[in-house]
Structure 1
């Protein structure tokens, strides 16, 4: 975020500046980030749609398991369906939509090498849809924000985490996780939005600067940063010898994919029943990911 704020200041000769308030200075709790932008508590907010899943059923289709091979493809999928997604961002201006690197399964005591190993385990999930993924694999989902993962895994509140490896360094997960199972899991979606009233108050020149420094290009840059961080983090754990990277054999991975097929089918059916054109949105996403 900081390089973007510096670009905006430079391009407007500091007529428009953006100050970052980290660590919950404008309000505690990541679940309220989108609401803070809607209510104008902050002009711009960054957060996860999955924390308030009911607000973003269209966007969160990108979190279906195995939909995209990497963060950049998943992000292109979001922008390929942007016309169908904007309705979920009422009263805000969408500045960026992207995903992180694909989740892996991180455990402390028990390695997960087969589908049977997951049975009965408690696994942290960042969103409702990813909770369905965990249930389909035979485990029990436990919803919690990323800030609680370290202690939850350390103390045994959960047996494992389903989260992108890009968090390993920033949240020191390598101190408490020992096994990293790479499977056909999902990406987590993120947003950067601006209060619509604050955007409308900008001069035409300032709005032009915001538009030109955000959107698809900023989203893909964010996705690349996450993807690179995830690859480096897993490699670092392997190099240090404190973490084992478990990659499923082809036959075993196919069992996992078969178990997860119902998540996609059930999700689409449920959304279509609510008059949300999930099939059409998925088609647009998949076309953009080709």
Structure 2
């Protein structure tokens, strides 16, 4: 005779066996490759909050782990995301200038000095004009960003006129900056910002191109004490946060919808705000240390504007070849959108 107790025990064993063979739902763990140290504000104030928000809005179903070391050099980070070597990466579009010809316009002079407004305007421009461009295939673009206008910085003298710029050796970081300096009669020297201090100390360069925050964050305030300010920025840089397209597609519809609510224009704005928040304290610190700040003269601004017009004309043809149907309209849209956002 089978007792009630025996029946209960058999049922419990069967239930336990079924539970043991049924896979539990597990969180999707994404990897992020980043190339700044964990003390940098991009890491502490932008990337870490992004990972926290993704976990929060998906209720822990999707988490992001920032790897302890980058998986490749900075210029390779778009490709890391596109090919899925890392799930999420960030970087500068014009580290691959030929791939991202469409983005050159936002790194030219006069792109603005309000990084949040710039970053919002660039996102809107991307969505309206570039979302279907082949250069962006293979990834889910999470955000774009700009840094609020780079300026000219010199180690030993004031730079205000075209004559002051001529024959001075400036460290710079990309082909657009190289063209700009060359056209002004300066001598461009390609090197990362991390090399600026030793190059200034050894006399290899006379000055360097940076945002205001970069002078302080790269600890250059002892060797760059003369700052030339262009009201609309001397040059700029464009950045991305990208996720592998296949990984994005594999997420559940619910998780994709949740993440969509924290990326795009709002995440782009957060990028820009972080740069805006860094710039003013940097200026205050350098002012207190006795640094010299000079407005670019009307003659120097006019010289830069002439170069800018030439750069835009050359870019229009290149952008059309890169699949941008209306480069002039795209640039006009960015400028108008930025102006409206910056005025708020």
Same fold? TM cut 0.5: yes
What's the counterpart of residue 112 of structure 2?
68
Is the partner of 2:122 in helix, strand or coil? Answer: helix
Larger displacement relative to structure 2 (46-55 or 246-255): 246-255
Structure 1 residue 49: Cα displacement: 1.0
Say which of 247, 256, 265 aligns to 2:295.
247
Q: Deviations over 1:202-245 (max 9, x none)?
A: 1112212221111101101110210221222122101122x221
Root mean square deviation of aligned Cα: 2.1
Is the partner of 1:47 in helix, strand or coil? Answer: strand
Q: Deviations over 1:226-272 (max 9, x none)?
A: 0221222122101122x221212445533443344322223224434
What's the counterpart of residue 18 of structure 1?
64
Q: Deviations over 1:155-214 (max 9, x none)?
A: 333222112112123211213212111124122111100011111121112212221111
What's the counterpart of residue 149 of structure 1?
196
Say which of 234, 258, 268 aligns to 1:185.
234
What's the counterpart of residue 271 of structure 1?
319
Give distance in 2, aligned partners of 1:150 and 1:203. Answer: 48
Give distance in 1, aligned partners of 2:310 and 2:136. Answer: 28
Give distance in 2, aligned partners of 1:142 and 1:50. Answer: 17
What's the counterpart of residue 214 of structure 1?
263
Higher relative contact order (CA 8 A, sep 6+): 1
Say which of 134, 156, 162 aligns to 1:109.
156
Is the 8 Å Cα contact of residues 161 and 299 (structure 2) preserved in structure 1? no
Give distance in 1, aligned partners of 2:187 and 2:64. Answer: 41
Give distance in 1, aligned partners of 2:95 and 2:202. Answer: 23
Structure 1: where are the runs of 5+ without partners? none
Task: Calculate the TM-score normalised by the size of structure 2.
Answer: 0.77
Larger displacement relative to structure 2 (223-232 or 74-83): 74-83
In the alignment, is residue 84 of structure 1 matched against residue 84 of structure 2? no
Count of paired positions = 287
Is the partner of 1:223 in helix, strand or coil? Answer: helix
Structure 1 residue 47: Cα displacement: 0.6
Select the structure of larger CA radius of gyration: 2
Is the partner of 1:58 in helix, strand or coil? Answer: helix
Structure 2: where are the runs of 5+ without partners? 1-46
In the alignment, is residue 31 of structure 1 matched against residue 75 of structure 2? yes
